[in-house]
Structure 1
Amino acid sequence: MPQLNPAPWFMILFFSWLVFLTVIPPKILAHKFPNEPSLTTAEKTKTKSWTWPWY
């Protein structure tokens, strides 16, 4: 029963994970997404105080 011999199956598992972790992520990360967030300025906007009377 050759399926009980772990030697070939372990190497298949190892090389498949090696491909998944080394080849595929750079290909996915190389895509440029069209809606990247733009940098915002460091200025804080001034808020107006609330002038409603509570009494």
Structure 2
Amino acid sequence: MPQLNPSPWFMILLTSWLVFLVFMPLKVLSHSFNPQLSPQTRKDPVSKHWAWPW
């Protein structure tokens, strides 16, 4: 049964963890996000009372 031989699968496991722990965070952190928000006037929302028909 070749599934019980850990030799090829252990290297695949280590390689995949290396990719996920080293290269993926570098790719994610390399993106630049725009932290500047556009200024908006602060107004309270105007809500109208609704007369229920019943």
TM above 0.5: yes
Report how far residue 26 of structure 1 moved.
0.7
What is the SS of the residue equivalent to 2:26? helix
Q: Which amino acid aligns with 2:8?
A: P
Residue 50 (structure 1) aligns with: none
- TM-score computed with the length of structure 1 as normaliser: 0.58
Unaligned runs of 5+ in 2: 38-54
Which aligned runs of 4 or more in structure 1 are off by greater than 2 angstroms? none
Residue 41 (structure 2) aligns with: none
Residue 43 (structure 2) aligns with: none
- TM-score computed with the length of structure 2 as normaliser: 0.59
Matches within 5 A, 1:1-55: 1-35=1-35
Unaligned runs of 5+ in 1: 38-55
The CA RMSD over aligned residues, in Å, is 1.7
Percent pairwise identity? 62
What is the SS of the residue equivalent to 1:23? helix
How many pairs align? Answer: 37
